[in-house]
Amino acid sequence: LAKTTQPISMDSYEGQEVNITCSHNNIATNDYITWYQQFPSQGPRFIIQGYKTKVTNEVASLFIPADRKSSTLSLPRVSLSDTAVYYCLVGPLNSGNTPLVFGKGTRLSVIA
């Protein structure tokens, strides 16, 4: 599995756009980039996944440059409820038999 590097923590004010960048220089050809979000006292939950270019859903956008050595999770207009730890994971899609391996994640604190 490709090693990932992301900031340990970030602070943001409500209403701002937050961009969290993850570096994964050793990403393999068949690897996908997946982001999970973990609120305090809850298990992580899937946010978004992509392979290249840009992916957008109702929660976030994921930007992946052509070389795929990094990716950026973009959260539009954050609110206090977006305070959480965000994990970037890189690995191949699989048949359900390979568990996720989590790095340290980025602790996002949203301030009023």
Partner 1 sequence: SAVISQKPSRDICQRGTSLTIQCQVDSQVTMMFWYRQQPGQSLTLIATANQGSEATYESGFVIDKFPISRPNLTFSTLTVSNMSPEDSSIYLCSVEVAGGVYEQYFGPGTRLTVT
Question: Closest Cα to residue 20, out of 56, 74, 57, 68?
Answer: 74
- Determine the residue type at 69: K
Q: Are 48 and 57 in contact (CB under 8 A)?
A: yes
Nearest residue (CB) to partner 1, 12 versus 49: 49
94 forms part of the interface with partner 1 (CB under 8 A) = yes
101 forms part of the interface with partner 1 (CB under 8 A) = yes
Count of CB atoms within 10 A of residue 40's CB?
7
Q: Which region among 9-17, 21-29, 67-75, 102-110 touches partner 1 (by CB under 8 A)? A: 102-110
Q: What are the residues binding partner 1 (CB under 8 A)?
A: 36, 41-46, 49, 85, 87, 93-105
